[in-house]
Amino acid sequence: MKEKRFSFPLKDKIASLHLKEKWKGFRDKYGHKIYPFIFCFALILLDVSFRAIHLQAGSVGLFHWAPTLFTLCWSILLSSVIYLIPGLVKKILMGILLFIFAILTLVHATLYHIAGSFLSFSELAFAEDAAAFFSIDYLGFSFWIYFFVFLSVAIGVLAIILAPKKQKYRWLNTGIGSGCFILSFAGLFALHSAFYVPGGANKFSWTDTYDPHSDSAVYTEFNDANASLIFCGSYEYLFRSFTKILEDSAGIKQTREALDAYYASCSDERIPNEMTGVLEGQNVIAILLESIDTWMLTEEFMPNLYKIKQQSVDFSNHYTPLFLSAGTFNTEAALNIGYYLPVTGTNAYTYATNLYPYSLPQLFVNKGYTANSYHTLDGKYYNREIVHPHWGYDSFNDQSTLHFKGEPTCDTTLMESYEKIVCHDKPFFSYIITYSGHGPYTEKRQVIAEAHLETAKQLAKASGVHCDDEDTWNQYVRAIAHVRETDAMIGQLIEKMEADGTLENTAIVFFGDHYSKYLTDTDFIMELKGVDDMYRICNTPFFIYSNKLEHQVVDKVTSSVDMLPTIANLCNLDYNPRYSIGNDAFGEGGGFVCFKDYSWIDENMLWTPDYEGELTPEIKARCQEVVRVLNASWDTVKCDYFGYLAEKAEKENSKK
C-alpha cells in the first residue's frame, strides 16, 4: 500500500499553523517581558538615526554624552510609563506616541530640506498657512530618513503586538517599572540642572560674558532650533520647547526691566547725513518680491526689474536672515515693525495685539500719508487682514476687496487695481506683496508659469547653467517662468506710472523676502549664487528707485531690519533711533547682519560657531553686540514692550 502524500498547499498550511503556534507561545511566554525594551529601542533608533543624518546642523557629535543621555532617559521614562499602564490603553498610547514622533521627525526633515532649519514651535502659529502652500516635492530629502522612520515605527508596532491586553502586575514587576521611571526622571532632572542657568535670559542677554555657543547657553536660551535639537535630542527638544514658552511668559517682568536698561543705554539722537530727507514728500511704494533671488535678477530673466535696478540705489550686500521658516512673514515684519522675530515664546496673536508705535506705516501716517497694503491672495494668510491694520495701515486689500477678474496667483492681476494703489488725495505709502515667485516650481503652479514657460526653457538653456538632475532642472526652468510673471507686473506698473505722471513723485522700494528656497536642491542654489554656506545664501535684492536718487551701489552690509530706519531717514519720518534695532544704511551705525544662532556677517568676515581663528577684541565686541541686539529684538516682541511702556505712562499720568 502506497504511503499517502500530502499536497504542498496542505504542508504549507500545517507549517503556517506550526509557526503561529510557536509565535503564540513566544508571545505568551516572553512578550510581556520584552515589549518595553523593544519600544524603548524604537524610540532611541528614531532619534539617533535622525541626528546622525543631520549632525552638520549642530555642534556636538552623535555620541556626545548630553543628547545620548537625554534620549536614553526619555526613552526609558516613556517606556516605563507605558509598562505601568494597564490593558488596552497602553497599546493605544504606544501607537499615539509612535505616530507623533514619526510625524515630527518628517516635519523636521522637510523644513530642514527647504529652509535649513528644524521646526521651531513658535512657528506652529503659521502651520495652517504653511500647509496651504505644501507640495509633495518638498519631501525629497534623504532616503535614509524614510528608511529609519519606517524601521523605527515597524519595531514600535512589534512592541505593540507583543504587549499583552491584560497584564498581571506583581510587586516585583511594578517595582521595576516604577524604579525605571524614577531613575529616568531623576536623570532628566540632573541633566536639566547641569545645563540650565536660572535667570539665564538676563545673564546671557545683557552682559559681556555670554558665549552663545556654550552648552549652557544653547540649552538655556534655546533660540537656535538646529543647535538645540542636535544637542538635546528629539524628545528633550520637544519638552524644552514648551517649557521655554512657559518660562518666557513667567519672566516678562524681569525681561521688561532688562529692556528698560538696554534701551536707556541707547541714544535717541538722530544724526542727519547727506541722504536725510532726500525723498521727503514723495509717495512711496514698497514691493515685497516673493522668492526673488539675486541670481534671478538678470537682464535676461527679469528685464523690467533689472532696468530699474540699474537706475536705483542698490544695496548689494543686503541679507534677509531667516528666524522663522515662514520666510515671507519673517521679512515682512522686519520691514514693517523693524524687529527680528523671536524663534520661541510667541503665538499668532503677538503680531495682532502688541503695540508697535514706531512701525513703518504708522510713521508714514504720522507724517500725513495714507498707508495701505495690497495682495492678490486671501488676507487670512499670516492673519494679514487683522495684523496690517494693527500695524498702522489704513486698510489691507486682497482678492475679496479688490474684486479681481484675473487669476489671483498671477502678479499681473494686481494691475487691475492700479488706480487704488496710486490714486489718493494726499501722499501715499502703498505696500505690495507679490506672489508669483512662490513655489513649488512644478505643474502644481502651472497657471503662473504657463504664459512664460517656453521662453523660460530657452533662457535656461542659454544661461550656461548645467544640471544633471532632471527634477532640479525642471524646477530651475519653472522658477524662471514664475519670476517672469512678477517682472511682467513690474513692467506694467512702471508703464502706467510713467503714463499718468505718478512716477515723477514716487519712490519705489524693492526687496526680496528670502532666497529662492523653493528650489529644493540647496547645493544647486549655492552654485547659482556662488556661495558655499547657509549664511551667505541669504543675500537678497534690496534697492530703491526715485528720480531724486542717483544710481549708486552701496556695499555696506545691510539686513532686513535696516530697511525701516533707512526709509525713515530718506523720507525724514519722525522715528526714534533708540527703539530701532536696525540702522540707517547711510549712517555710521550697523554694517552687519545677525543670524539666529548668533553668527554674523560684516564687511570683514563671516563669524560662525565653527570659527577657529584668533578672537580679536573687535570680533569679541561684535559678538557681544549681536547677542544684545538679537535678544533685545526678540524680547521686545515677546513681552509687548511698547504696550508695557504705554501702560506705564498711563499710570504715571493718572497719578499727576
Q: Which residue has the higher pLDDT, 24 or 479?
A: 479
Q: Which residue has the higher pLDDT, 383 or 508?
A: 508
- What is this structure's pTM? 0.79
The CA-based angle 266-269-272, given to 5 degrees, is: 130
CB neighbourhood size of 332 (10 A)? 25
Q: Which residue has the cell 482678492?
A: 399
Are 242 and 121 within 8 A, CB to CB? Answer: yes
Q: What mean pLDDT do residues 333-360 have?
A: 84
Q: What mean pLDDT do residues 476-499 have?
A: 97
Q: What is the pLDDT of residue 382?
A: 78
Q: How far apart are CA 231 and CA 524, in angstroms?
A: 29
DSSP characters over 264-310: HTS-------TTTTTTTT-EEEEEEETT--GGG-STTT-HHHHHHHT
Cα of 208 vs its chain's centroid, Å: 28
Q: What is the pLDDT of residue 341?
A: 87
Are 373 and 433 within 8 A, CB to CB? Answer: yes
Q: What is the pLDDT of residue 51?
A: 93
Q: What is the pLDDT of residue 211?
A: 55
Residue 411 CB contacts under 8 Å (≥ 6 apart), including other chains: 376, 434, 435, 436, 485, 486, 488, 489
Q: What mean pLDDT do residues 213-240 have?
A: 83
Res 125 pLDDT > 70: no
Res 267 pLDDT > 70: yes
Contacts 24+ apart (CB under 8 A), 492-495: 492/412, 492/415, 492/418, 493/415, 493/418, 494/304, 494/308
Q: Which of 33-47, 125-139, 203-217, 470-484 has the highest mean pLDDT?
A: 470-484
Least confident of 130-134, 328-332, 377-381, 503-507: 130-134
Q: What mean pLDDT do residues 500-511 have?
A: 96
Q: What mean pLDDT do residues 392-397 have?
A: 94
What residues does 283 pair with on adjacent strands?
Answer: 506
Q: What mean pLDDT do residues 89-110 have?
A: 91
Res 448 pLDDT > 90: yes
pLDDT tier for residue 68 given thresholds of 50, 70 and 90: very high
Q: What is the pLDDT of residue 17?
A: 58
Q: Which amino acid is at 387?
A: V
Q: What mean pLDDT do residues 26-49 have?
A: 84
Q: What is the pLDDT of residue 246?
A: 76
Q: What is the pLDDT of residue 176?
A: 82
In which element (H, E) is residue 184 found? Answer: helix 171-195
Q: What is the dihedral of CA 643, 649, 654, 656, to 10 degrees?
A: 180
Q: What mean pLDDT do residues 361-387 have?
A: 91
Res 207 pLDDT > 50: no
pLDDT tier for residue 1 given thresholds of 50, 70 and 90: very low
Q: What is the pLDDT of residue 214?
A: 73
The interaxial angle of helices 32-53 and 234-250, nearest 10 deg, is 80
Q: What is the pLDDT of residue 206?
A: 41
Res 210 pLDDT > 50: no
State the cell numbers at 365: 501716517
Q: What is the pLDDT of residue 28?
A: 64
φ/ψ of 263, rounded to 5, equals -70, -30
Q: What is the pLDDT of residue 110?
A: 85
Q: What mean pLDDT do residues 105-113 have?
A: 86
Res 571 pLDDT > 80: yes
Taking only the tens place, the pLDDT of each residue in 152-188 is 999 999 998 888 877 666 666 778 888 999 999 999 9
SS3 542: strand
Q: What mean pLDDT do residues 499-526 have?
A: 94
Closest CA to 340 of 590, 540, 589, 581: 581
Closest CA to 579 of 340, 254, 338, 388: 338
